[in-house]
Amino acid sequence: MQLQSLSFLATVTVFILVHHVTARDLRHVTEPKTPQACVSLKSSGKDDTVAIQKALDSCTHGKAVALSSGIFYSGPLTIPSGVSLLVEQGVTLKASTDPKLYDLGGNKCGTIDELGLGCKPFIKMHGAKGSGIYGKGTIDGRGGTKMVGSNITWWHLARNAVVVRQLQNNPRLIQINNSMDITIYQITLTNSPFYHLVAHETNGFTVWGIKIIAPFSALNTDGIDPVGTQNVTIAHCNISTGDDDIGIKALTAPTRHVSVLNNHFYGGVGMSIGSETNHGVRDVLVSGLTINSTHNGLFIKSNTLRGGLVTNITYENICVHNAGSPVQIDSNYYHYHGNNTPSFRNITIRNLKVLGNGTYIFHGLSASDPIQVTLEDVHITKGSKFSIRNSNIKGTWNEDARGSCAFAGNEAV
Ligand SMILES: *[C@@H]1O[C@H](CO)[C@@H](O)[C@H](O)[C@H]1NC(C)=O
Ligand SMILES: *[C@@H]1O[C@H](CO)[C@@H](O)[C@H](O)[C@H]1NC(C)=O
Ligand SMILES: *[C@@H]1O[C@H](CO)[C@@H](O)[C@H](O)[C@H]1NC(C)=O
Ligand SMILES: *[C@@H]1O[C@H](CO)[C@@H](O)[C@H](O)[C@H]1NC(C)=O
Ligand SMILES: *[C@@H]1O[C@H](CO)[C@@H](O)[C@H](O)[C@H]1NC(C)=O
Ligand SMILES: *[C@@H]1O[C@H](CO)[C@@H](O)[C@H](O)[C@H]1NC(C)=O
Ligand SMILES: *[C@@H]1O[C@H](CO)[C@@H](O)[C@H](O)[C@H]1NC(C)=O
Ligand SMILES: *[C@@H]1O[C@H](CO)[C@@H](O)[C@H](O)[C@H]1NC(C)=O
C-alpha cells in the first residue's frame, strides 16, 4: 500500500517535471474538438467557390461549414473570424489551377519575376479569432496539374524560376495573417503550388494530427511555417514535402513559445529554423520527432542578410534515419550578406539517435560569436563526417547508434 502510493507519487512527480520541461507554448493545449456544423454542403461537381464562400460568410460564430460529400472545386476562399471549415472524411477540396483567379492585380500570378508576390493564397484568414480547419478530408493544391491557359504546372514554373534566378508567382495553400487562436486539426494537405500552411504574426496557433504530402521534387512546398508567431503547438503530424517540413521564421516579428511534439517527417528538408531570424526565435522545444529520409534533420540556418538571435532551443527524444546532414547549424547559410548578425545560443540536443552516416555541420560566423550547442546522450553512426568551425560545443557524441526508429513512414504515400 505504502509502496504503491510512493510509486504513484513518484509517477506524478515525474509527470509534473516532464510536463514542466516540455511545453514551450504558454497556453495549456489539449487535443482540439471539431466544432458543430452550421450547414452541410454537397459538391455540385462544378466550381463551388460562391456556395462555399456564402456559407462561410453566413455561418454562426463557433460553428463550421461542413463539406460533406464529393469533390469540391474552388478558387480562393476567406475563412472569416470565429468560423471554421470542416472537410469531412472522404471529401476533397481541390484548388482551381486558373492563375487569373489568384491574381493580386498585376497579372503576375502564374508568371516569374523578382518578387514572387503576385498571387493570393487558396485559403486565407486575416485578423481572424478562433477560426480553424478541421476534418479527415483532403485539401489539394494541385501543384502538379497544368495551369489553366498554360502547358506547364505550378511546380514546373517554380523550377523554371530557379533556372533564371527569379521567383515563381504561385499561390500558398493556407495563409493565416495577424490572427488569434487558430486551429488546424486532422486534415490532409497535399500538393500545394507553394508553401502549405503559413501563420504570419499570429498568436495562438494549434496544428494537431494533420498530414502534409508533396513530392520531394516540388520546390518551396514547405509544410508548416510559423512566421513571427507566438504560442504555437504542432503535435502528432506526419509530414513529407519538397522543402522544410517545419520552418520556423521571424522576418517581421519575433517567434517565441513554440512546442513541436511527437511528429514524423518522411521526406523533405527537415526540422528548420530560419533562414529569416531577424526578429529572433526563442523558447522552442522539439520533442519526440522521428525523421526518415530527409535532406537535413535538425537544421538552423541564417546569414547576415536575415540574421538575429536564436536561443533557448531544445531538441529531445529525436530519431533520424537516413538524412544527408542529420544536424546542421549554419550561420553563414547561402553566403548572403547584410548587416544582421545571426547569433545561435543555448541550443540543447538531448537524446538524439541517428541511423546512417551523414555530415554534421556546425558553422558559426566568427570566433567572437560562436554557435553555442550542448549535446547530451547523442548516439550516431560510425563513419559520419564533421565540419566544425567557430562553434562552442559542450558534451560529445557516441558512435554507437543501433536498432531502428519505430516509424517506417511510407504508409501515407
Ligand atoms: C501566450 O499565451 C499566454 C498564456 O495564455 C498569454 O498570457 C500570452 O499573452 C500569449 N502571448 C501572446 C503573444 O499572445
Ligand atoms: C510549352 O509551350 C512552349 C511554347 O508555347 C514550349 O516552348 C515549351 O516547350 C512547352 N513546354 C512544355 C512542358 O510542353
Ligand atoms: C500576409 O502577410 C504577408 C506579410 O506581411 C503579406 O505578404 C501577405 O500579402 C499577407 N497575405 C494576406 C492573405 O493577407
Ligand atoms: C502518422 O503515422 C503513424 C504511423 O503510421 C500513424 O499511427 C498516425 O495515425 C499517423 N498520423 C497522421 C496524422 O497521419
Ligand atoms: C531562456 O529560458 C529561460 C528559462 O525559461 C528564461 O529565464 C530566459 O529568459 C530565456 N532567455 C531568453 C533570451 O529568452
Ligand atoms: C537555456 O534554455 C533552456 C531551455 O529553454 C532554459 O531552461 C535555460 O534557462 C537556458 N539557459 C540560459 C543560460 O539562458
Ligand atoms: C557510410 O557511407 C559509406 C560511403 O560514404 C557507405 O559505403 C556506407 O554504407 C555508409 N554506412 C552506413 C551505415 O550508412
Ligand atoms: C525508413 O523508411 C523505409 C521505407 O521508406 C523503411 O524501410 C525503413 O525501415 C525506415 N527506417 C526506420 C529507421 O524506421
Considering the domain architecture, whether residues 216 and 301 belong to the same structural domain is answered as: no
177 lines ligand 6 (CB under 6 A): no
pLDDT 10s per residue in the chain (413 long)?
344 444 444 444 444 444 445 699 999 999 999 999 999 999 999 999 999 999 999 999 999 999 999 999 999 999 999 999 999 999 999 999 999 999 999 999 999 999 999 999 999 999 999 999 999 999 999 999 999 999 999 999 999 999 999 999 999 999 999 999 999 999 999 999 999 999 999 999 999 999 999 999 999 999 999 999 999 999 999 999 999 999 999 999 999 999 999 999 999 999 999 999 999 999 999 999 999 999 999 999 999 999 999 999 999 999 999 999 999 999 988 878 899 999 999 999 999 999 999 999 999 999 999 999 999 999 999 999 999 999 999 999 999 999 999 776 554 43
Query: Quick check: is 67 in a domain?
Result: yes
Longest Cα separation, the chain: 76
Query: Quick check: is 48 in a domain?
Result: no
Domain boundary, last residue among 221, 246, 271: 246
Query: Quick check: is 22 in a domain?
Result: no
Considering the domain architecture, whether residues 291 and 217 belong to the same structural domain is answered as: no
The ligand minimizing its distance to the Cα of 284 is: 6
Asked whether the beta carbons of 235 and 210 are under 8 A apart, the reply is: no
CB atoms within 10 A of CB 40: 14
- If you ran DSSP here, which 8-state letter would residue 34 be given? P
Query: Quick check: is 103 in a domain?
Result: yes
172 lines ligand 3 (CB under 6 A): no
Q: For residue 408, what pLDDT is reported? A: 60
151 lines ligand 2 (CB under 6 A): yes
Query: Quick check: is 348 in a domain?
Result: yes
Can you tell me whether residue 223 is helix, strand or coil? coil
324 lines ligand 7 (CB under 6 A): no
17 lines ligand 1 (CB under 6 A): no
Considering the domain architecture, whether residues 232 and 301 belong to the same structural domain is answered as: no
Placement of cell 508568371 in the chain: 111
Considering the domain architecture, whether residues 240 and 288 belong to the same structural domain is answered as: no
Q: Which residues contact 25 (CB under 8 A, 6 or more apart)?
A: 231, 232, 233, 257, 258, 259
- Number of the ligand 6 atom closest to the C-alpha atom of 282: 5
Asked whether the beta carbons of 170 and 119 are under 8 A apart, the reply is: yes
Query: Quick check: is 345 in a domain?
Result: yes
Reference 108, options 49, 159, 157, 156; nearest CA is 157
Q: What is the best residue among 293, 325, 355, 357 to mutate for testing ligand 7's pocket, by most ligand atoms within 8 Å of CB? A: 357
Q: For residue 239, what pLDDT is reported? A: 98
121 lines ligand 3 (CB under 6 A): yes
> Across the strands, what pairs with 9?
none
Query: Quick check: is 235 in a domain?
Result: yes
Reference 408, options 349, 355, 369, 364; nearest CA is 355
Ligand 7 centroid – CA 364 distance (Å): 27
Considering the domain architecture, whether residues 169 and 288 belong to the same structural domain is answered as: no
Query: Quick check: is 23 in a domain?
Result: no
Count: domains in the chain: 2
Domain boundary, last residue among 212, 246, 280: 246
Half-sphere exposure of 197 (CA within 13 A, CB side): 30
Strand positions, DSSP E, 214-280 = 224-227, 230-235, 238-240, 244-248, 255-265, 270-273
Considering the domain architecture, whether residues 9 and 76 belong to the same structural domain is answered as: no
Reference 314, options 259, 277, 388, 369; nearest CA is 259
Q: How far apart are CA 223 and CA 242, in angstroms?
A: 9
Q: Which residues contact 343 (CB under 8 A, 6 or more apart)?
A: 307, 308, 309, 310, 311, 331, 369
Considering the domain architecture, whether residues 123 and 239 belong to the same structural domain is answered as: yes
Considering the domain architecture, whether residues 215 and 314 belong to the same structural domain is answered as: no
Considering the domain architecture, whether residues 329 and 217 belong to the same structural domain is answered as: no
Considering the domain architecture, whether residues 240 and 268 belong to the same structural domain is answered as: no
Asked whether the beta carbons of 35 and 134 are under 8 A apart, the reply is: yes
Q: For residue 31, what pLDDT is reported? A: 98
Ligand 6 centroid – CA 24 distance (Å): 12
Smallest CA separation from ligand 8 atom 1, residue: 408
Considering the domain architecture, whether residues 223 and 365 belong to the same structural domain is answered as: no
262 lines ligand 4 (CB under 6 A): no
Q: What is the CATH number of the domain that holds 300?
A: 2.160.20.10
Half-sphere exposure of 115 (CA within 13 A, CB side): 7
Domain boundary, last residue among 246, 277, 292: 246
Can you tell me whether residue 162 is helix, strand or coil? helix
Quick one: which H or E segment has residue 379?
A: strand 371-379
Range of the domain at 115: 54-246
Ligand 8 centroid – CA 121 distance (Å): 34
356 lines ligand 7 (CB under 6 A): yes
Considering the domain architecture, whether residues 272 and 300 belong to the same structural domain is answered as: yes
